[in-house]
Amino acid sequence: MTLQKARYHHGDLHQSLLNAAREMLREQGIEGLSLRKLADRVGVSRTAPYHHFKDKNALLCAIAEDGFRYWHAMAKEILDQSALSARQKYAKFIRAYIGYAADNPELYDLMFGRTIWKQASPTQALKDEAYPSFQFQVEMTREWQKQGLMPAEEDTLRLTQVTWGTLHGIARLLIDGIYADSSHIDEMCETALNLFTTH
């Protein structure tokens, strides 16, 4: 049977759900993503997804988890480019972060938004992916302080919270379209870089 519709067992519903959900998220946002429409899209009954994800929250967490994995890989790639100076790396890092958020606004919102972190509760698996991501950022900041790129007198944790908070804030301004739009990205990144690094 090559006809997908006719089969009682889907075959790989778990992965299909994730893929379709990611699409719907990109196209219609978090609010536009309903389990029923999703099931319909994949060609399966309303409650079929419940055999693969505990509830809607679990599905969203799985998508966010992938988002973190992808970003983490991207960040590592930039910071491993040994040919660049610390400052150049940081500049690239900033630009990549904002770019990732601007290119995947709905995913970014899911990764860091209240839907998961406040309204519902993050999966353990998601926490295991998200927290190291921030921890990694702390280590980098410590390194940058040692190299004289960032002020050494500031507490590393606070400095990380503020610098990362800035990127987070700019990302949200862009995503929500308040007081900033994507044509300002490059200049905003440069301004942030100037403020955070001693030069």
What mask of x and - would describe binding to DNA in positions 55 to 94, judged by CB under 7 A?
xxx-------------------------------------
CA 4 to chain centroid, in Å, comes to 32
Task: Identify what 15 binds: DNA, a second copy, none; CB under 5 to 8 Å per kind.
Answer: none
With H, G, I as helix, E, B as strand and everything else as coil, classify residue 185: helix
Residue with tokens 């940081």: 90
Q: Where are the alpha helices (DSSP H) in the chain?
A: 13-28, 35-42, 56-79, 86-103, 105-112, 114, 124-146, 156-176, 185-196
Q: How far is the CB of 59 from DNA (least distance, A)?
A: 8
According to the binding rule CB under 7 A, does residue 9 interact with DNA? yes
Q: At what angle do helices 56-79 and 13-28 cross, to 10 degrees?
A: 80
Burial label, 85 (beta-carbon count in 10 A; 0-12, 13-18, 19+): exposed
Do 7 and 39 meet the contact criterion of CB atoms below 8 Å apart? no
Task: Identify what 176 binds: DNA, a second copy, none; CB under 5 to 8 Å per kind.
Answer: a second copy
Binds DNA (CB under 7 A): choice among 2, 3, 8, 80: 8
What mask of x and - would describe binding to a second copy in positions 11 to 50, judged by CB under 8 A?
------------------x-x-------------------
CA distance 30 to 22: 10
What mask of x and - would describe binding to a second copy in positions 115 to 154, judged by CB under 8 A?
--xxx----------x---x----------------x--x
CB of 3 or CB of 195, closer to a second copy: 195
According to the binding rule CB under 7 A, does residue 41 interact with DNA? no
The residue ranges that bind DNA (CB under 7 A) are 7-11, 13, 33-37, 39, 44-48, 50-52, 55-57
